[in-house]
């Protein structure tokens, strides 16, 4: 992630005042944070715009009404290429012992969305015990635990040669090189590269590149480019093929996904 644009301050909290802490922000285009970590879980989602979360393991993208779950102590940076409305929840570890120890992209259900909206109105030191606020927090945590995971992550390999290949593809998603051409460049057979790619990322080369291209096209769509321009910019020759692949990944066409 390039460190250009508008840096965002990272909250200076030694500890959370309650099991759940809310942060609501309006981000200008090009907002970003430096790579950092903290001793609590973070769940961030965009009401509008697209959030990008970057870790050593991969990149995670959240279009509107999806969110990124970030484990405690996970080093991460966050960016938004265009203007965005962001809601973040910081959660004490002991309040979510069920939390997975990996970054995930989760679908924010209508009920969870309304609960988060209401919780963001509470003061940081909301009443505990048998209060209405504490009961809502308990319900919200139950809802967060049940949020379905979606495939909006882009895993990165640890193998140096393969990582360089992937970074090159991310930088220029429309490049047409084939797997065979990349295998020649890395000095291995096509079958060896296929096995290595699957072992390192959990995805085939074809599926990884398709996901990378579709995720990269979100920025163009968010900026107001046409569907055809977004398709061509991420390497698709056919707009109809792009729309079909987009709907398969995101569950909506580019026109239906409100950015």
In order along its 259 residues, the chain shows pLDDT tens digits of 445 567 777 777 889 999 999 998 887 777 788 899 999 999 998 888 888 899 988 999 988 889 999 999 999 998 876 777 889 999 999 999 998 889 999 999 999 999 999 999 999 999 999 999 999 999 999 999 999 999 888 999 989 989 989 988 998 999 888 888 889 988 899 999 999 999 999 999 999 999 999 999 998 888 889 999 999 999 999 999 999 999 999 888 998 876 6
Which one, of 239, 45, 229, lies nearest residue 152 by Cα?
Answer: 45
pTM (predicted TM-score) = 0.83
Residue-level pLDDT at 258: 63
Residue-level pLDDT at 62: 87
Phi, psi of 112 (to 5 degrees): -60, -40
Strands (DSSP E) along the chain, which ranges?
Answer: 6-7, 20-27, 31-32, 41-48, 51-54, 58-62, 66-70, 77-80, 84-91, 104-107, 149-150, 153-155
Cα distances (angstroms) measured from residue 22 to each of 25, 42, 52, 55, 128: 10, 10, 19, 22, 15
CB atoms < 10 A from the CB of 158, how many? 10
The domain locations on the chain are 6-150, 156-250
Which one, of 116, 112, 43, 30, lies nearest residue 76 by Cα?
Answer: 43
The CATH topology of domain 156-250 is Arc Repressor Mutant, subunit A (1.10.10)
Which one, of 107, 7, 121, 14, lies nearest residue 65 by Cα?
Answer: 107
CB atoms < 10 A from the CB of 46, how many? 24
Burial of 65 (0-12, 13-18, 19+ CB in 10 A): middle
Cα distances (angstroms) measured from residue 237 to each of 163, 175, 228: 26, 12, 9
Phi, psi of 226 (to 5 degrees): -70, 160
CATH of domain 6-150: 2.60.120.280
Residue-level pLDDT at 100: 85
Which one, of 144, 81, 70, 147, lies nearest residue 104 by Cα?
Answer: 70
CB of 239 closer than 8 Å to CB of 227? yes
CB atoms < 10 A from the CB of 203, how many? 18
Which one, of 52, 8, 42, 10, lies nearest residue 27 by Cα?
Answer: 8
CB of 97 closer than 8 Å to CB of 64? no
């Amino acid at each position: 992630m390039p460190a250009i644009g508008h840096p965002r301050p990272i909250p200076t909290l030694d500890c959370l005042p309650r099991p759940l802490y809310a942060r609501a922000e309006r981000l200008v285009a090009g907002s970003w944070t430096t790579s950092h970590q903290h001793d609590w879980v973070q769940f961030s989602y965009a009401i509008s715009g697209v959030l990008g979360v970057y870790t050593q393991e991969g990149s995670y993208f959240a279009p509107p009404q999806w969110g990124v779950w970030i484990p405690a102590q996970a080093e991460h940076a966050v960016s938004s290429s265009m203007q965005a409305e962001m809601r973040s929840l910081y959660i004490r570890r002991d309040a979510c012992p069920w939390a997975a120890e990996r970054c995930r992209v989760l679908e924010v259900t209508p009920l969870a969305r309304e609960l988060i909206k209401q919780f963001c109105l509470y003061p940081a030191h909301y009443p505990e015990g048998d209060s209405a606020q504490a009961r809502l927090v308990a319900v919200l945590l139950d809802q967060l635990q049940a949020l379905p995971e979606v495939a909006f992550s882009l895993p990165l390999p640890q193998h140096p040669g393969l990582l360089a290949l992937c970074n090159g593809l991310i930088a220029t998603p429309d490049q047409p090189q084939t797997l065979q051409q990349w295998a020649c460049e890395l000095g291995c057979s096509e079958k060896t590269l296929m096995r290595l790619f699957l072992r390192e990322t959990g995805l085939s080369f074809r599926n990884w590149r398709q996901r990378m291209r579709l995720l990269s096209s979100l920025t163009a769509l968010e900026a107001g480019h046409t569907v055809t321009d977004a398709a061509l910019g991420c390497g698709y020759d056919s707009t109809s093929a792009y729309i079909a692949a987009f709907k398969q990944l995101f569950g909506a066409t580019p026109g239906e996904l409100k950015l």
